[in-house]
Chains A and B, each alone.
Chain A
Amino acid sequence: MTRSTDIVKELEEISPVVAQLNATLPYQVPEVYFETLSTVIMARIAAGGNEENSLLQVAGKSMPQDVPAGYFDTLADSILTKIKTANSDVTTELQELSPVLAGIGNANVYTVPVGYFDTVADTVTAQVKPASKTVSLFTTRTWLRYAAAAVVISMVAFGINYTLKKDGDSFAGKIKTEAQFNTQLASISDDAIIDYLQMTADTKDAESIKQLIDGSQLPEEADYIDEAFLDAFMKELEAKQTN
């Protein structure tokens, strides 16, 4: 590249380093790019300047191939004929394999109760629904857990104590001390206590339990979800009952 004298002189005054550099651009251009550029641009202009693929616009939409005369008029019939032929192939195949089977036909012999298909969706849904009931029990179950812990400890303690006093011989050998009683009580699972209450408690019992419980001491409903919190509360409750 032959540089202008003025440009070179100016560069040498500012920076001899830059003046020594090769001014050739290292970028490449696709082959025949400049040969076709004007055609592409004129095509885009012809297409209104907006079409990216305006060469297609210029070429037009007419297809160079011909369609046979009457092709679309007979297309539907020819497709149906092919379908029937395919079906008849199945019949022919069965005839060849077993004339006896071919003669029986394929009518359905089974019957279905009236209105069966109208109700099957509802039936299935109803069977699935009970699973959600276990979710709704969570809050009640947890509340009962607390109530059971507080009340049953008292009731059972009273009951056992009473029984011990009433029939000292029967229980004398088994539970004599409060520690033994607590050990026995601790071995009863929460689920067993809850199940007992659910079986034996009625609305009146629930009300009695509610009256015995100081609601202000109970955790907030949201806290019921935190198992660690529940366990800590249970221990606190048990400690209070023991004292």
Chain B
Amino acid sequence: MTQPDDKELLLLFHDPATKERAYTRIIKKYQEKLYWHVRRMVVEHEDANDVLQNMFIKVWNGLENFREDAQLYTWLYRIATNESLTFLEQRKKRSAVSMNEAEAGLSNTIKADKHFDANRLEWKLQLAIQQLPEKQRAVFNLRYYDEMPYEEMSRVLETSEGALKASYHHAVKKIEDFILNR
């Protein structure tokens, strides 16, 4: 089934008669990509589900004013990233934990996954990613998993391309060190 064009979906969304149907199609089009982006940040499915639903509800309220000067999915990624970072920040504040403790918490969550296997490199990679600061984690995930161009990433994260390239470079080095030495 061919994915509907974003412009077409937005037109349908602006028509009250087709608004809900259009939005349902927008959700179905982007739900998996956005879900995994959020899940890689917050780790637990329940948390990812909460963040994703809240994000789509915000999008429903804000889509009327979407100016279409940026791509729809860039805008959606920006909201999803901000919601994920806000969620992690709020959880840190609620528990009054330090950054190190928050990282340890997410690492423990990964280890608690019933499919976790410490001998498999893809699990070790997840543990390595969790030791990155949240924003750097988002940079790494968007480049490594979503293969997002730096130009687009700069619009999602509202950061310069140069800063993003440097951040990604450092993130990869940290992950390499973790994989080899821990």
Chain A residues with CB under 8 Å of chain B are 3-4, 7, 11, 14-15, 17-18, 21-30, 33-34, 37-38, 40-42, 44-45, 49
Contacts and interface: CB of A to CB of B under 8 A. Distances in A.
Given A3-B147, A40-B53, A21 B27 contact: no
Contacts of B180: 17
A121 B175 CA distance: 77
B56 A41 contact: yes
Contact of B57 (A18, A26, A41): A41
Interface string B98-130: 000000000000000101110011110110000
A18 B27 contact: no
Given A17-B176, A18-B179, A22-B122, A44 B57 contact: yes
Interface of B: 20, 23-24, 27-28, 31-32, 35-36, 39-40, 43, 45, 49, 52-53, 56-57, 60-61, 113, 115-117, 120-123, 125-126, 143-145, 147, 168-169, 172-173, 175-176, 179-180
A30 B179 contact: no
A33 to B, nearest CB: 8
B115 A28 contact: yes
B167 to A, nearest CB: 12
Given A15-B175, A29-B45, A34-B28, 9 more contacts: A14-B168, A14-B172, A21-B121, A26-B126, A27-B43, A34-B35, A41-B56, A42-B20, A45-B23
A30 B176 contact: no
Given A4-B147, A38-B24, A38-B31, A18 B122 contact: no
A109 to B, nearest CB: 69
28 contacts: A3-B147, A7-B143, A7-B144, A7-B147, A14-B169, A14-B173, A15-B175, A15-B176, A18-B172, A18-B175, A22-B122, A23-B122, A23-B145, A24-B122, A26-B115, A26-B117, A26-B120, A28-B113, A28-B115, A33-B49, A34-B32, A41-B27, A41-B57, A42-B20, A42-B23, A42-B27, A45-B23, A45-B60
Given A14-B172, A40-B53, A25 B40 contact: yes
B54 to A, nearest CB: 9
B39 A27 contact: yes
Nearest to B124: A21
A229 B61 CA distance: 77
Given A4-B147, A28-B115, A44 B121 contact: no
Contacts of A14: 168-169, 172-173
A11 B28 contact: no
Contact of A21 (B28, B49, B60, B179): B179
B176 to A, nearest CB: 4
